[in-house]
Structure formats: structure tokens, C-alpha cells
Amino acid sequence: MKSKVKKVLVIGSGPIVIGQAAEFDYSGTQACNALREEGIEVVLVNSNPATIQTDKEIADKIYIEPLTVEVLEKIIAREKPEGILATVGGQTALNLASELHEQGILDKYGVKFLGTDAVAIKRAEAREEFNNIMRSIGIPILPGVTVNNFEDAHSFAEKIHYPVIVRPSFTLGGSGSGVAKDKEELRQILDLALRLSATHEALIEKSVSGWGEFEYEVIRDSFGNSAIICTMENIDPMGIHTGESIVVAPVQTLSDNDHQKLRSAALKIVEAIGVQGSCNVQYAVNQSTGDFTVIEVNPRLSRSSALASKATGYPIARVATKIALGQKLHEIKNSITGTSAAFEPALDYCVVKIPRWPFDKFPQSDRHIGTQMKSTGEVMAIGRTFEEALQKAMRSLEVKIPKFIPEEQLNPATDLRLFAILELFRKGVTIQHIHEMTKINLWFLQKIFNIIKLEKKIFSQPLNREIIREAKRAGFSDKQIGLLKNIDEKELRILRKSYGIIPTYKIVDSCAGEFDAITPYYYSTYETENEAKPLEGRKVIVLGSGPIRIGQGIEFDYCCSHASFALRELGINSIVINNNPETVSTDFDSSDRLYFEPLTSEDVLNIIENEQGGVIGIGTFEGVIVQFGGQTSINLAPKLHDYGVKILGTQLDGIDIAEDRERFRDLLHKLGIPQPANGTAINEAQALAVANKITYPVVVRPSYVIAGRGMQIVYDDQEMKQYIEEAVDLSEQRPVLIDKYIDNAYECEVDAISDGKDLFLGGLMEHIEFAGVHSGDANIVLPSLHLDEGTKNTLIDYTDKIARSLDNIGMINLQYVVKNNVVYVLEANPRASRTVPFVSKAIGIPLAKIATKVLLGHKLKEFDLTNRQNNFAVKSVVFPFLKLVGSDIRLGPEMRSTGETMGIGSTFEMAYYKALLAAGVKIKPVKSGTVTALLSLREEDKVYLDSLSALLRSLDIEIYGTPGTATLVKGAKSVPKIGKGDKTNLDVLETIKSGGISLVINTPRKGGKPNTDGFRIRRACIEKGIPCITNVQTAFELLKAMVELKKKELEVKDIAEYWK
Amino acid sequence: MMINKKAVLVLQDGTILYGRGFGASTTKVGELVFNTSMTGYQEAITDPSYGGQILLMTYPLIGNYGINKKNKWDSNYSWYESSKVQVEGFAIRELSDVTCHVESNSDISKFLEESGVPGISDIDTRYLVRHIRNHGVMPAVLAVYEETIDTKKLLDELKFNYSSIDFVEKVTTKKPLIFGEKNKQTVVLMDYGVKMNIVRELEARGLRVVVLPSFSKFEDIEKYEPKGIVLSNGPGDPAILTDAHKTIKQLITKDYPLMGICLGHQLLAHAFGGKTYKMKFGHRGGNHPVLNKSTGKISITTQNHGFAADEKSLPKDVEITHVNVNDNTIEGMKHRSKDVFSVQYHPESCPGPRDSKYLFDQFVKILK
């Protein structure tokens, strides 16, 4: 029995990166709640401000600080926690805790590991040890060996025969892993793998591509009681990372004997490892022989456990936390049914998860999916049949399927494989053929084929009640059926309802109906009984933001969760609709009622109609909140409005003015507010005319964009022609927008709330980079650094005027450019922006909550809106470049980042340094012990060379330069251009690759192509893990921060201490 | 291939659900019960404990991995738990139109048809589960038909009292069956509707297993000089099996080591002088937690029972060893001074978790 702890340190997972997304805010938040229920004081550390867990309602002390060992030691020294919970913050937290343990820091301060301890973690993660344990308990493993050099790897691969899979130890999302078919591929993959491994080790294993892949989510307490919470089957067989696979729960193709073998093995494995909490066990199963082998185990909360929680309704993080405190599994309550947590959830539905990939943002990147993660998020859907769940999941993705050649997506697979299979079935390709190409189990292929079979039936037969009902039960949307019959969606909806075909809602209750459930967690299906009786009393629907993708991340889920919390505070029933299994908003206790549904107008309308309770009417449905779920929810506004649904806050007309360039231009013109010169064009000739009129450079983009998709800075006619050619497909009937690009100007943005009368300016932020970098990718400081009072007043004045003109109620975000004291408006977004959580945390005011209350009629003057900021706050970002092979890291008007960090400090430099540190910028000395920086600047930036090199010298950083740059800097060492070096005088690429450089400052020329030297330098940095700064302002501020850091110690404080 | 058969399920309280029919075109009556296991439908429908019942699976997708007729019911490895389909009817949400398993060589529809058992699919099974949960298990009639059917007539003819029928005599073996070689230790397995995996588990522990009909007298049993006795699972109300109560009492008196499973456990309770009662909707599935009171540990168990032993009715020399964590019902007991123990759940699994096989080892240890 563990002694009772009173204070616990919980480590979060930091910024959202590929392989580590919102699921850890979800599990961390649940864990904090579970701890505080027991009267335990919670100290939370996470550098990601867009998290619910960093709210003051969730933890007692909140450290929004970089997740490094140094910072954690400072926090431990200050807070003296008795225990540390490291299993709810992903691989990041686990690695940090292991390091704290190994460096003796935990012992030094007497901090106990709660839950699965360091020894068990090592058993699970260090392959050699893991394999030994598996052998000792008779669990089959793949032949494999841990290596730290190429020779050993190759000789082993020869022995067991290629192909082999290379997997670095202690990494997340399969980073650096890959399947090597021969010696050369092995050399390449291993090089990266060893560098990425925390221990400079990688595992070489026999590749079992094509075998079935299964996951068992296990929970075990410290007394040895254990249960399987969820079983999952990957539709994509081995060879594709589970995070990249379409996954179904529960397993579908295993007999009871198969299943029980894997189940018993999973229990045996967690026992042998000594898991105390949650654990994920992955298997490969050869389904033609029944042989299986364990692939790996994750002794912590994971993406899979978040999915398992949402798929079953079982709160794994909560139970794992109680176990970490020494409680017995059967003494913990299942909060859903009131029965014990010691049971295995029984599902009476089918769950499908589909990953969401960012390739729309990275057109240059390789679309193949494989052993490492490239997806940023996922959707989940629930149905009573597989077809229904799959189709609901597909429409939850919100993707526009690009043109593609189906055969080319099958093997090796791309993100389009599912769509390709559907397309091939349409063309008459056989199930057997697809099976041979993909190794996807015939059961799944048959089910996917059923969709096409039904599609053909709908197409060829007259519409009647039976066919519509059959289609709905197989998950077809009204829109899909309408398209097949050439009938408008709206008309089909009327027809369907006239047949009495309306969805029923069923509860996710963890027990297949065996016990009465109190959870308000529903999904739709077309059955007999509707369990979702309309809620009594006042109620409001909050539309969620769907899957995490670039441009629409966890920030919006944070806002939606806050909206739900605020409604509850007002005594109004909050109803959340969302389809993202990773998030806090889809936790069943985040709202009064959760509908786990696609975010399409049909699905949302169905829910609204259900809640309205028919003609009699039950409860008071007050409207829908669309302003927190990013583009997903705001895009639904027109259709909902069309059906007469009440939108709370800014009305459709205001939204439309802000989105429609013409109307917005007219508005600004009327208000006398400057805007960069602009125009629209629907063809090449028009575009060239507009651009020449407003003069290059110009920013071009399709209308109605999300996070700068298809946006580009264009410098001349040639580039314009090329853009128009490539972007036509993106814009279709919608015109291309052309704006004058105002360079060397400050970009600012504002998050504000208006109540129709007053305006509350949450924050006036300044971008560190000059205008031209997407606001989602920019480093942002609050308060602004360079704006004088006059300019600030102008910004406030403009914000107020625009908000009034849009009749804005609730959140509004405005983006400005300031040059030569002129303030230009870039855009207005009458909704919550991604900076809302950042600003809320910086100023100590929960903007989204207040905005929600304003939407419900409250006035700003009712709230205490004292800005508590007493410091500088900087938001920095992280990028997925490493995972996306072939992508360039240069920044531009297209958003590329996946996540954000926050640094807070008494000076700007301190705050900025911490934000970058949190984002993983680490400047390490090279072998000789000195720190070196390589400068390679474009022509127009060379004016900064003197001041940059002065700063570098003051930091004792040795300066290297490409020949052009080096001649301009006194004392700089010249490095030959790519291909111009030799054995003794390595060229610049080789110098970076051989580890001779600590930091690269490379500012790319306009319009850089993938094959330029600059591109290769930047890619080499990414692969070598060397900070590469591509923007002069960023470089200056970083170096200045480093100068400051030489004088000062890193500040580490509870967020409340930063506030006044 | 599926022909367009129709089906209807009519409950005693007048609830009617129309669906798609499969299996045999016939009409059957039984007590409608639900099972929450997500795998193991072949094991379930061949489990004699379901005698007299229409089985509803709560998991909606059934038949995915087909039916395995390759391995016979009495072989070492099989998906059969007896020689045939034992349920009166089978009710599910969706019948898979494809089977994907390497060991499969048939499908449910054919399998039921060969056994003359009707099946219904495409009904809101969850609705029925909630209905049963609220109103208790009840008799129902399942009809598979091709043209039309008179549901009112079906309801009128629905005269069925589960507790009054001796299902054991219908499912038990008519003559002794012997598994294992002569030179091994012999145990007698009383067949009240035995699941074959009990035989397999005992055999795997080096025992010769003599399976005797439920109506066997003490003298018939004694003849085999068994080192111990296992009382099997089975269908129906344990209270009406008074002959079995008597026989078991004799066995206890003569100090035979004894292990009871499910119905065997309930019969043992009666033999001890205790009572059993009918539960509202019973426990059927593979996910119930059972606490072993002596170790303080739990096991996830396979359950299939609609009756339970009444704790208050049991004499002092009986100790409760296991309880259900959810509802505190008795899951296991033992005699304080004799080598007699029993569990309400299924240590032989099939379908379901294999966590409780240690009980067979425990049985082997007490053999004389």
C-alpha cells in the first residue's frame, strides 16, 4: 500500500505535434480532476496554453513553462510535491520523468513515482529488456536486436533476411522508423533513427507487413487486478502505424479463441511489466495461421487509450490516476453506471476512427503513409453497423478529395487509400484484387464494397421508403443520396422525414444496456428506440471544431469546452456536438449532453430537431453557438440559418461581410479604414491586370480560406501565371483574391469581445516576424513592443468600429499591418481565434467563457475585466517538418505549424527564450565545445549582417558563412557551397550533417523551389535536429534573448505569480 | 446465400419487432435473454445452458468470423460447446454477409437451419435489452416465415413457463460418455447440460472424465470410483431438480471432493439446504467482475445464469468465497470442513475470459 500523498506534480505533453495531440490534454485534465477529488493538491506543468489542464479550475498550481529537466527540477524544488504523475503527458512526460529519475532528482527531493514506475517503464520501452521478459513468460516476439551502429544492424538484417523494420527507442509517433528493403535503405533509416532515439539506440526487427494489427487497452492496479478496456483492430494491416490506420473497435475478425489468446497474453504482459495504470499492447496476427506476436507496449495513457475511452465510455485516465494513488480497481467506481470500474466494457455499436492528414498544407510532401505518423488528428464515428460508422467518420473528416489515380494509392498506401478503394469498387474492381494489393482483411473490404453496392442500388432504383431507410442505416447522408438521385439535399430531407425516417439516438454506456447509465453521451443511428429524450429547461448547442488539423487545432476545442462550462455556470444545459475523440470537449462530463456526431448541417439539424422535441416542444432551445469551433462551425452557419435555426451572437450577415472580400472592402471604405490595395480575379488576364495595378509583391489566395490554404506571396507575372494555373482547381467558381503585400511592416492582431454596446480588448498582440508570415506560424508577443500610443488607439478605434459595423456579439479577431504609422486592416474574423487561450492565460481573464455569457445576453460591464498581465507573454510554434519528408521549413502566408507554446517572463527576452525553449529550440555546442552559427542570408537581408554577427560574437558564437556571406563578416569561416567541398574542406551540407554547426540562420529567397541549396540546407537542419531560423527578426530576438539569459536565471513561476 | 426471409419476435407483453429472417423457417418459443459477449457466438448457441431460451446478442455485428464445423464438439479444440445448437432462437442486429476466418467452413444461417432453429436480424436489439432490463426476462416467440404471419395468433399461443420445465432432462446425455484413458485418475462429471470445455479442461489436467446423465443415482456414480465429482452447468430452474439435490447431498455425506459450476453451484446450494431465486434478467456475458474474498483479487468472468443462490438460506458451514462486485450476488462458496466448492460463473470460459482456470487446478488438488 502506498502512503497517502498530498501534493502531486502532473506533467503535460507540451505543444501539439504529430503523434502527440489533444489526447493528452484530455487525459491530463481527467487525471487532475481525479486527484483533486481525493483532496490532493495538484501542481501542473505544461508549456501549451491552449489546454484545459492549464486552467485554474483544473489544477492548484499551474506552471506554463518549458518542459525540460532543468525547469522541472526548479518546480520540484519550489513546490516539493510528494508524488509525480508522468503517465498522462504522453511520451514527453514519460521521457522527462525517466530522466528526472535517472539523474537522481526525484530521489533528491523525495518525489515518488505514482502509477507505473521508472523500472516498469524501462521494462516496457528498452527493447532488449522487454524482449527478455516476453521470452520468459512465453509471449511470442519478432526476432529483433537493439543496435547502435550500422554494421550490427546490417549483419542482423542479413541473417533474418530483409525487409526489416527499424524503430528508434523512446520516441513518439514512430518518429524515425521505417521499413528497409535493402542495405542502402537501412543505412538511411538507421542514421535518422539513432539520432532521434533518446538513448542512441534502435531496434531492428523482422518486418511483418501485411499481418493483421490489433490493439488491446489494458488497465491494471498495483494489486494485480486487471481488465481489458477496449480491443481495436486496424483496418490497415501491419506496415502502417496505428496512428495512421483506420481503426475499428471492437475487434471484428477474431474468433473468441483468437481474442482470448490475445486477451490473456495482454494481461500476462502487463503483469510481467508491472504496469500500475493504463497500458496499450499491440499485436501482429498472421490470420492465415493464427500465429501472433507482440509488437510493442505503451505503459501510459496514449492516443489509443483516448480513443478507447471515447469508444467505450470508460474513463481510462481517471481510473489510471486512482490506481496510481494505490486504489484497487474494483473499489473505483465506474462513473457511468455506478457499478465497479473492474469490468470490461461491452459495446453494442461499432466505432471507426480515421486519421486526418495535413497534406493539403504540404503539397510538396510525400503522401505515402507507413511506419511513422504524419497525421495531425483524427475523427471517430459510432454506428450500429460498420458501414454506418465508416460513412459517418468519412463525412466527419471535412476533406475535399483531390483528383488522384486510384491504383497508385493502394500499395504503398497514401492517405487517399480508402477513397481509392471506393473508387475502384465503383469501377468494378474485385474485392479479391484489392485484398491482394492491400492485404486488408476481406471482411472490411466486403463491408466497404457493400457501400458501393448500395450506392448503385440507390442510383438505379426509384426512391422509396425502404431504400432510403436502408441507405440511412448504412450511414448515407441525405446529401449523398441526393447526389445519386440528382435531388437537392433539402428536398431529400423533406422526403425522408415524410417517410418518418428520422434518426434515433443511443447512449454510449460501457455495458451494452445491461445497467442503467447516467452518462449523457449519445450517437445517432436509425433504429426503433430513441434514448435521447429532449432535455428539459434552457439549452444551447455548442458546435465543436472536428479533427485537429493545421490551422484548426486544440485552441478551438479549448474554446468550445469553455463555452460549455460557461453555459453550465449560467444554469443552461450545454449540448456539445463534436467528432474528435482526442479532446476535452468530447469527455462525457464536459457538457450536459454530448452528441458524438459528424459536423454537417444534416447531422446538426437532426440533433436540433430532436432537442426541440417536435410540435409539443420540450425545454427551451435557445440557439447554436458557432463562433468557437473554428471554420468548421462557422461554415455551418449559413445552412443552419437557412433552416431557421437561431445563431447566437454575430448574425449571418456580419459573418458574411467579414468573409466576403467585396463586402468587407466596401465596409472599410465606408468606415475610412485603410486596407492593403486589393482586387479579385477569375482568370489569368484579370489577375495580371490587378497585380500590375496594385504593384508586386502581392498576396494571392482563393476566397473562403482556412489557415492560408493555397495562399502565396507572388513577386512577378511569371509566378502569378504559375499560381493561377495551379490554384484554379482550389477556387473553382470562387475568385482569386489579390492583396498588396506590405513588406517590412509590423503585423498585429487583436482578440476582443463585443456585447453590442461595449468592446473589451482582450489583447493587442504583435508578431515578431514582419508581415507575410501566417499569424498561426508567427511568434507573437503580448503586449506589443513597437507600437506607440497613437497607433494603439487607432487599432482599438478600428476594432470597435468594425465590430459595431458587423453587429458583432461575442468574440472577434482582427489582423492588422502597421507601416509608417499607417494601420491597415488585413482581415476580420467574427469568431474566436486560435490566440484566445494564449491571451486568456496572459491576462488572467477567460475570454471564451465571458464571450459565451455575452452571447446569452449578459453585458460586459457585469464582469470583472481587470487585465492582470504584469509581464511579457510570447507564443511560439512547432512545425511538423521532420515528419513530413520533402517539406520546406520556410515560413510564408500558408500556415504550417501544428502546435504552440507559451513563454512568460518579466522581460520580453525571457518570455521569448522560454517560448522557444518550450518549442524545442536547443542550441548545443559542437564537438569542439564551441557554439557555431552558420549564416546564409538572402540579398535583401545582408544589411543585417553586421548587427547579427555582433550579437553572435557577444555570445561567443563562432560564425560560419557560405562564401557570399562570409566575405562580408569579419572573422567568419567560409564554408564551400554544396558540391564545392572536398574531404578536408566539407561543403556546407556535409558540415551540417557531420555535426559541425549548432545553429543555422538561413533566410530563403522568394519563391524557393525544393531543389535549391537553401532548401537542402534547411532539410539537413531538420533531420539533424539543429535550430534553423528562417526569418531575420526571429533570429535577432532569439540572440537578444540568449544575451539576456547569460545575465539572468530562467524564471519559473506559477501562472498566478506572473499576474498582478 | 440469403433469401428474403422475414421474421418476427413477439414478447409476452405484446412487444413486436419485425426483422429479417435467417436459419430455419419455423416458429419457436423460449425465454428471451441477452448476452453481452462481443465474440463467441458459436460457443454460446451450442451451450446447453441456453436450453429453452431465445438468445439475443447485444453486440450488433454477428457472424463475422463464421462457423467452425471442422473441429468436432468432442475434440480437443473446438468452437462447439455441445454437439448441436441449443438455443430456441437467435436474435441479432446484423448478420455478417461475409465470413473471414481461416478456421471457418460454414455460416450461422446454415448452421441454424440445419438445426431447425430460427434467427432474426435487423431489429433494434438494444431496445429489447433495455426493455428486458426494465421489465425482466420474459417468454417470447420467434417466427421465421416467407410470406405473412398472424402475430396475434403467435401471442395468443405464447403459453410458456420457463421455471416449470425440466430442461436438464432434455439436454443431458442419455448414456455415460468417457474421455481419457483408463490408467488415469477418474472424475465423474454430472451432465446437467455440460459445456464441453469443462471436459477439455479436466482432460488437460491428466484426468479421465466420466460424463454421467443428470438422472444418475448415487450408486451409478459410486460405481466409477471417482476421485472427485464435478457438477456441471445447465439450463432451467435449479429448484425443481429435486432428485439432483438428493444425489448431491449423498455425495457430500460420503465426502466426495466436489466442484460445482453454475447450475452445479445452484444445485449444491439446494443440497446444502439452501435456496435459489430467479434474477430479474440474470448475468450473461464475459465481463463481470468477481471478487475472490480470500485473495482480495478480482477476475473478469464468463457468466450465464438467471438464478442465484440465496445467501441467507445457506447453513453456517458454508462459506461465501466469491461475490459479484457489481451486485454482491454470490459467485462462489465452499464447505468449511469438506472439500466441496462451487462457483456461479464459468471457469471453463468458451466463450469468455480465461482468468479463472485456476479453479480446475484447485479441484485437482483436492482429489482423493
Enumerate residues 57 to 76 of chain B having a beta carbon within 8 A of any beta carbon in chain A: 58-61, 64-65, 68
The answer on pLDDT for A705 being more than 60 is no
Q: Which residues of B touch A228 (CB under 8 A)?
A: 300
Q: Which domains does chain B have, with CATH numbers?
A: 5-160 (3.50.30.20), 168-366 (3.40.50.880)
- Rounded CA gap, A1010 and A989, in Å? 15
CA distance B98 to B37: 20
From chain B, the residues in CB contact with A227 under 8 A are 289, 300
H runs (alpha helix) in A505-600: 554-569
Which residue in B346, B366, B172 sits closest to B261, CA to CA?
B346
Give the best residue of A348, A447, A516, A523 to mutate against chain B (max B CB count within 10 A): A348
pLDDT: is A1020 or A75 the higher one?
A: A75
Determine the Cα–Cα distance for residues A1020 and A882; give it in Å rounded to an integer: 10
A560 pLDDT exceeds 90? yes
- Domains by residue range for chain A, with CATH: 7-122 (3.40.50.20), 143-207 (3.30.1490.20), 406-460 (1.10.1030.10), 504-650 (3.40.50.20), 677-740 (3.30.1490.20), 746-830+835-869 (3.30.470.20), 924-1026 (3.40.50.1380)
CA dihedral in degrees (A520, A522, A527, A528; nearest 10)? 10
Each residue's pLDDT tens digit, B82-138: 999 999 999 999 999 999 899 999 999 999 999 999 999 999 999 999 999 999 999
Q: Where are the beta strands (DSSP E) in chain B?
A: 5-11, 16-23, 27-35, 53-57, 61-62, 89-91, 94-95, 118-121, 138-145, 177-179, 185-191, 207-213, 228-231, 258-261, 276-292, 297-309, 318-324, 330-335, 340-343
Taking only the tens place, the pLDDT of each residue in A631-655 is: 999 999 999 999 999 999 999 999 9
As a whole number of Å, the end-to-end CA separation of chain B is 54
Active-site amino acid positions of B: 262, 346, 348
- Whole-number pLDDT of residue A1010: 55
Q: Bigger pLDDT: A699 or A226?
A: A226
Q: In this predicted model, what pLDDT tens digit does every residue of A298-330 receive, in sequence order?
A: 999 999 999 999 999 999 999 999 999 999 999
Interface pTM (ipTM) of the complex? 0.97
pLDDT band at A61 (very low <50, low <70, confident <90, very high): very high
Distance from C-alpha of B113 to C-alpha of A154, rounded to nearest angstrom: 57
- Give the whole-angstrom CA distance, residue A63 versus residue A45: 5
Question: Rounded mean pLDDT of A435-451?
Answer: 97
Query: Which residue has better confidence, B8 or A163?
Result: B8
Q: Which residues of A touch B124 (CB under 8 A)?
A: 504, 527-529
Mean pLDDT value of segment A773-793: 94
3-state secondary structure of A292: strand
pLDDT digits (tens, 9 = 90+) for A26-46: 999 999 999 999 999 999 999
CB within 8 Å: B79 and A386: no
pLDDT for res A1020: 85
Residues A21, A323: Cα–Cα separation, whole Å? 24
pLDDT digits (tens, 9 = 90+) for B304-337: 999 999 999 999 999 999 999 999 999 999 999 9
Contact A348 B352 (CB under 8 A): no
Comparing CB atoms, the residue among B60, B296, B325 nearest residue A385 is: B60
Residues of chain B in contact with residue A348, where contact means CB-CB under 8 angstroms, are 36, 58-60, 93, 125-126, 129
Contacting residues for B223 by C-beta, under 8 A, at least 6 apart: none
DSSP codes, A227-277: EEEEEEEESS-TTS-GGGS-EEES--S--HHHHHHHHHHHHHHHHHHT--E
**Separation CA A473–CA B19 (nearest Å):** 14
Q: What is the dihedral of CA A443, A447, A453, A459, to 10 degrees?
A: -170
Summarised one tens digit per residue, pLDDT across range B188-202 is: 999 999 999 999 999
| CA-only gyration radius of chain A, Å | 28
Average pLDDT in the A778-805 region? 96
pLDDT band with cut points at 50, 70 and 90 for residue A922: confident
What distance in Å separates residue B106's CA from the closest CA in chain A?
Answer: 14
pTM of the model: 0.95
Residue A506 neighbours by CB under 8 Å, 6+ apart: A348, A349, A384, A522, A523, A524, A525, A527, A531, B126
The torsion angle over the Cα atoms of residues A59, A835, A539 and A501, rounded to 10 degrees, is: -120
**Is the per-residue pLDDT at A1005 higher than 80?**
no
Q: What is the pLDDT of residues A321-364, one digit of tens each?
A: 999 999 999 999 988 888 899 999 999 999 999 999 998 877 77
Judging contacts by C-beta atoms under 8 Å, the chain B residues touching residue A256 are 37, 39-40, 42-43, 79, 350-352
Check residue A292 and give its pLDDT: 96
* Residue in B43, B61, B351 closest to A350 by CB: B61
The reply to whether residue A223 touches residue B291, judged by beta carbons under 8 angstroms, is: no
Tell me the mean pLDDT in the region A38-57.
97
The region of weakest confidence among A725-729, A835-839, A901-905, B360-364 is: A725-729
What's the mean pLDDT in A607-621?
90
For chain A positions 608-637, those within 8 Å of chain B (CB to CB) are none
Q: What is the pLDDT of residue A2?
A: 47
Alpha-carbon span B220 to B241, nearest angstrom: 18
Please determine, for residue A192, whether its predicted confidence score (pLDDT) is greater than 90.
no
Contact of A291 with chain B, judged by CB distance below 8 Å, is answered with no
What's the full length of chain A, in residues? 1060
Interval A216-230: pLDDT, tens: 999 999 999 999 999
Q: Is A289 on the interface with B (CB under 8 A)?
A: yes
| A255·B37 Cβ contact <8 A | no
B39 and A251: CB-CB below 8 Å?
yes
Q: Which amino acid is at A416?
A: L
| CB contact residues (below 8 A), chain A span 248-287, against chain B | 250-257, 259-260, 263-264, 267, 287
Contact call for A255 and B124, based on CB within 8 A:
no
Q: Tell me: the pLDDT tens digits for A125-149?
A: 888 899 999 999 999 999 888 899 9
Report the C-alpha dihedral over residues A393, A282, B58, B324, rounded to 10 degrees: -140
Q: Say yes or no: A531 contacts chain B, CB-CB below 8 A.
A: yes
**pLDDT tens, B276-296?**
999 999 999 999 999 999 999
DSSP A751-771: EEEE-SS-EEEEEEEEEEEET
A431-440, A618-627, A942-951, A988-997: segment of lowest average pLDDT: A988-997
Residue A1008's pLDDT band, with cuts at 50, 70 and 90, is low
Residue A814: what are its φ and ψ, rounded to 5°?
-125, 145
Give yes or no for residue A702 having a pLDDT over 80: no
pLDDT exceeds cutoff 50 at A1:
no
Q: Examine the pLDDT at B1 and tell me if it is beyond 60.
A: no
Q: B-chain residues within 8 Å CB-CB of A263?
A: 353-354
Chain segment A520-532, per-residue pLDDT in tens:
899 999 999 999 9
- Average pLDDT in chain A: 92
What is the end-to-end Cα distance of chain A in Å, rounded? Answer: 43
| Mean pLDDT confidence for A50-76 | 97
Exposure of B206 by Cβ count < 10 A (0-12 exposed, 13-18 middle, 19+ buried)? exposed
Asked if A978 has any chain B CB less than 8 Å from its own CB, the reply is no
Segment among A982-991, B166-175, B217-226 with least mean pLDDT: A982-991
Mean pLDDT of chain B: 96
In angstroms, the separation between the Cα of residue B341 and the nearest Cα of chain A is 23
Number of A:B CB contacts under 8 A?
Answer: 165
Kindly tell me if the per-residue pLDDT of A179 is higher than 60. yes
CB spacing of A250 vs B354 below 8 angstroms: no
> Under an 8 A CB cutoff, do B59 and A347 touch?
yes
Model confidence at A707, pLDDT cuts 50, 70, 90, reads very low
